[in-house]
Structure 1
């Protein structure tokens, strides 16, 4: 059983879900295999956000305010790189956090879907295909708005003499 901490939350992570066995509380599905953590999914994601100078609560509040998503807001862990959306309320033990990778979704039963990631790795979640696609779209809207705001800030900084890329 491979153990990990919040530093494993990187571009290779596909999904994080609750997993209770022994001391483990999370299962982390990556392009390199499955890892386990003694942290809950929310604690794991919060520590990953803290690694990038914010918190899970701070990141979700931004999404709620910026895009008016009051329920199940997606959030960005690493600006312009790593974003994630919950399949259910983050309080639900059945919630799976899906990361910003290309996915295809197949509904296999009422309220149950299989998400397949580009490397051919799949995970079954207890939500409808429609819910997954809606959350996926919300995440990519958030990522796009964030990227545009970042570009606008860089342009503003350059136009106002705050360009830190200038040669000294």
Structure 2
């Protein structure tokens, strides 16, 4: 386990969870190892959004409007590239943030699951299989909307340019 407060929230991030170990507030689970940070998950996610010229609050607001859903909304950190969904209320210490990677969910008890990512990493999550899969579905819907909006934007820009010729 490594300590790091740098920008580790990227396309290799699998999950982000709160920890309460010494000075550390977050555990960042990536495809290349686990890291601890003195920043909270909220601070890390906000920094990642700022890197892509927005704020976490702005990204959540956009997702809430696009999905017409305001309870535990997923949001995109980087459009068409990097998204995340909470497994519980972000104010809940048990909230785990799952990123847009493929994974399977096995329920191991009432409101308790194991999330296993395709590259083999597994994490324990205090949420039901149903809740996790519903959040994953919402995140993928948001990614799909983002992709469609990006494609439409390109189509209309090309049409507008063709009309000017």
TM over 0.5: yes
Q: Contact (CA 8 Å) 1:6, 1:45: kept in 2 or not?
A: no
Q: 1:21: Cα distance to partner? A: 1.4
Q: 1:6: Cα distance to partner? A: 4.9
TM-score normalised over the length of structure 2: 0.95
Indicate the RMSD between aligned Cα atoms, in angstroms. Answer: 1.2
The equivalent residue for 1:2 is: 2
Q: 1:5: Cα distance to partner? A: 3.0
Mapped to 2, the partners of 1:6 and 1:105 lie a distance apart of: 29
1:10-159 matched pairs, under 5 angstroms: 10-159=10-159
Q: Which runs of 5 or more structure 2 residues have no equivalent in the other structure? A: none
1:21-48 per-position Cα deviation (integer Å, ceiling 9, x unaligned): 1211100001111001111000100000
Q: Contact (CA 8 Å) 1:6, 1:47: kept in 2 or not?
A: no
Q: Contact (CA 8 Å) 1:4, 1:37: kept in 2 or not?
A: yes
Q: Which runs of 5 or more structure 1 residues have no equivalent in the other structure? A: 163-168
TM-score normalised over the length of structure 1: 0.93
- Label 1:76 to 1:33 Cα distance change in 2 as closer, same or farther (>3 A): same
1:33-67 per-position Cα deviation (integer Å, ceiling 9, x unaligned): 10011110001000000000001111111111111
Number of positions where the alignment pairs a residue of Structure 1 with one of Structure 2: 162
Partner SS state of residue 70, structure 1 = coil
15-24 vs 132-141, which deviates more?
Answer: 15-24
Which contiguous aligned blocks of 4+ residues in structure 1 show a shift greater than 4 angstroms? none
Mapped to 2, the partners of 1:110 and 1:23 lie a distance apart of: 31
